[in-house]
Amino acid sequence: MRFQELPRLLLLLLLLLLLLQGPAGGAARFDPTWESLDARPLPAWFDQAKFGIFIHWGVFSVPSFGSEWFWWYWQKEKRPKYVDFMKNNYPPDFTYEDFGPQFTAKFFDANQWADILQASGAKYIVLTSKHHEGFTLWGSEYSWNWNAVDEGPKRDIVEELAVAVRNRTDLRFGLYYSLFEWFHPLFLEDESSFFQKRQFPVFKMLPELYELVNTYQPEVLWSDGDGGAPDTYWNSTGFLAWLYNESPVRDTVVTNDRWGAGSICKHGGYYTCRDRYNPGYLLPHKWENCMTIDKFSWGYRRNAGSSDYLTIEELVKQLVETVSCGGNLLMNIGPTKDGTISPIFEERLRQMGTWLKVNGKAIYETHTWRSQNDTVTPDVWYTFKPESKLVYALFLKWPTSGQLLLGQPKATLRATEVKLLGHGQPLKWTSLKPNGIMVELPHLTFHQMPCEWGWALSLSNVT
């Protein structure tokens, strides 16, 4: 090749590249319509991840009483429990805003959080960057004096956690964001115009959301709180088209379905449908079960008792049921105003991690099987890895007989192998007619058990 041919060759290559980038080869463009946005395939990492941690933290963590809806229940609904709590513990002119400076985050150590979160076995986290109270955990340009940099911690919490999580763990960093704010004057004015006026989204919510995504590049954007307003008021489709087409996270970001009145369980990315959603059957659309370790609150409660927290057995059950039915589990913790993760939350997180160390193969990157739960033995749930042709049977009760009867799998003589995860030796089994298999579990002493709160069998060559 002669030297002067090089530029021409390069030009040709460039042309070829441009052609390949056409409608067939390039990244899809999305229109600001639900039809177009709903057709976006969910980035694959999300379904593979299966397990995330939700973190509800904000000024509501200061009263840490009742619920993260404290402000609303106290001042809007005037529930006696909350009114009395204030009357008995604070001066009469004390306002919710006065809790702001007490949100000190004095012991907040993002690296320590990141290590605990990693130890849970989760693959992503979702932090409340702003709840319905409007207080932003980053120095929002649009939340003057009601954000963590000007008030309270005087630190950029979102930044600190994003850096720690990205630096120390392989977890994806996600953010929750409440569209509406209970008492924002612009929102209240819009509301009284039946959302004909759109001052709040134009001057507050949309600019803030762009700022949040551009600055912190969350890979989960967990929208919430439509305030009764339709998605057209929020311009959700306009924003999502930008998020999917132009934003710095356009290739990897996932979103949920809470983008305006009526959009839940219908539009957006994956479905959340309602809080603590766990249908118990297979859904045709990717979904997430967002739930709380504290049965009664998302935010920290100082007066919670130990029986208010789900046990590790109950949490493992949630994870197993959810994943078998095609969902992800987003398990919530509520840190204290000091920025600590209380020992009971930390313990549950570490227990989950211990369990996943043994049984992760039956959870991460699995697919749903033809059957979600067993038809004969209750509390047996199935997952599937098509690549390795393995079916996993997760069982939550160790049968006293030492024999586990599975009514669903059809085994093949001399081909099917059954193993207990964390144990390794092939187990004896017998085929049942017309289908089903009886597995002889190993005789293990307590200390030989691979784990204590649920087990998984891998079955090869079953149909």
Binding residues for ligand NAG, rule: CB under 6 A, are 32, 163, 167, 235, 238, 242, 280, 373, 375
What strands lie across the sheet with 220-224, from one edge to the other? Answer: 254-255, 220-224, 172-178, 124-130, 51-55, 327-333, 287-292
| Least spacing, CB of residue 366 vs ligand NAG, in Å | 18
| Least spacing, CB of residue 350 vs ligand NAG, in Å | 20
Torsion of CA 113, 117, 118, 123, to 10 degrees: -140
Give 48 or 167: the residue with its C-beta nearer to ligand NAG: 167
Give 162 or 462: the residue with its C-beta nearer to ligand NAG: 162
Look up residue 308 and give its DSSP letter: G
Hey, CA dihedral for 246, 251, 252, 254, is it positive or negative?
A: positive
How open is the CA angle 354-359-362, to the nearest 5 degrees? 150
Please state, in angstroms and rounded to a whole number, the distance separating the CA atoms of residues 420 and 458.
6
Judge contact between 361 and 421, C-beta under 8 A: yes
- Tell how far CA 165 is from the center of its chain: 15
| Least spacing, CB of residue 334 vs ligand NAG, in Å | 25
Give 105 or 240: the residue with its C-beta nearer to ligand NAG: 240
Residues 6+ apart with CB under 8 A from 203: 142, 186
Look up residue 223 and give its two tokens: 């929208």
Half-sphere exposure of 220 (CA within 13 A, CB side): 33
Instruction: Supply φ then ψ for residue 286, to 5 degrees.
Output: -60, 135
Closest CA to 154 of 96, 215, 100, 213: 100
Give 235 or 328: the residue with its C-beta nearer to ligand NAG: 235
Question: 125 has which bridge partners?
Answer: 53, 173
| Least spacing, CB of residue 320 vs ligand NAG, in Å | 11
Give 410 or 423: the residue with its C-beta nearer to ligand NAG: 410
| Least spacing, CB of residue 167 vs ligand NAG, in Å | 4
| Least spacing, CB of residue 280 vs ligand NAG, in Å | 3
Give 163 or 186: the residue with its C-beta nearer to ligand NAG: 163
Please list, residue by residue across 296-308, b when 16 or more beta carbons sit within 10 angstroms of its beta carbon and e when fewer do: ebbbbbeebeeee
| Least spacing, CB of residue 242 vs ligand NAG, in Å | 5
Give 54 or 180: the residue with its C-beta nearer to ligand NAG: 180
Give 95 or 375: the residue with its C-beta nearer to ligand NAG: 375
- Tell how far CA 190 is from the center of its chain: 31
Please state, in angstroms and rounded to a whole number, the distance separating the CA atoms of residues 66 and 297.
7
Closest CA to 311 of 327, 296, 294: 294
Residue with tokens 């690549």: 387
| Least spacing, CB of residue 198 vs ligand NAG, in Å | 7
| Least spacing, CB of residue 292 vs ligand NAG, in Å | 20
Give 167 or 401: the residue with its C-beta nearer to ligand NAG: 167
Residue with nearest beta carbon to ligand NAG: 238
Please state, in angstroms and rounded to a whole number, the distance separating the CA atoms of residues 297 and 305.
12
Give 304 or 391: the residue with its C-beta nearer to ligand NAG: 391
| Least spacing, CB of residue 262 vs ligand NAG, in Å | 18
| Least spacing, CB of residue 62 vs ligand NAG, in Å | 28
Give 280 or 386: the residue with its C-beta nearer to ligand NAG: 280
Please state, in angstroms and rounded to a whole number, the distance separating the CA atoms of residues 60 and 154.
17
